[in-house]
Amino acid sequence: MAFDWMDVPTQPSGDAHRRQTERALRERAALMRRLGYAQSYVAARAHADLAWEYASAGAPPLSAKEVDGLVARVFA
C-alpha cells in the first residue's frame, strides 16, 4: 500500500539548497549576535561550520565572500 507522504513529487533544486544554507547561517549568526559575540568571531565560526559540513560533501553553495556579506547584514 502506498502512502501519499512517501512520494516526493519533485527533487529539491540547487537553489532551494542554497536558500536553506543561507537561512541556517543567518539564523545562527543572529543568535550569536544576540548572545553578544563579535562579528569577526561569528564570521569565522560560519566559515568553520560550512567547512565542517561540506568536508566530505563537496563545495559549499556559498562562497567565503557571500558568507562574510551575510554575517555583515545580520550585524547591520
Residue pLDDT, tens place only, 50-65: 999 999 888 889 999 9
Residue 52 is predicted with a pLDDT of: 94
Residue 76 is predicted with a pLDDT of: 95
Choice among 27-41, 46-60, 62-76 with the minimum mean pLDDT: 46-60
Extents of the domains making up the chain:
16-75
Predicted confidence (pLDDT) at residue 39 exceeds the cutoff of 70: yes
Q: Is 36 left (phi over 0), alpha (psi -120 to 50) or beta?
A: left
pTM of the model: 0.79
Predicted confidence (pLDDT) at residue 8 exceeds the cutoff of 90: no
Q: Is 60 left (phi over 0), alpha (psi -120 to 50) or beta?
A: beta
> Which cell numbers in the block locate residue 75?
550585524
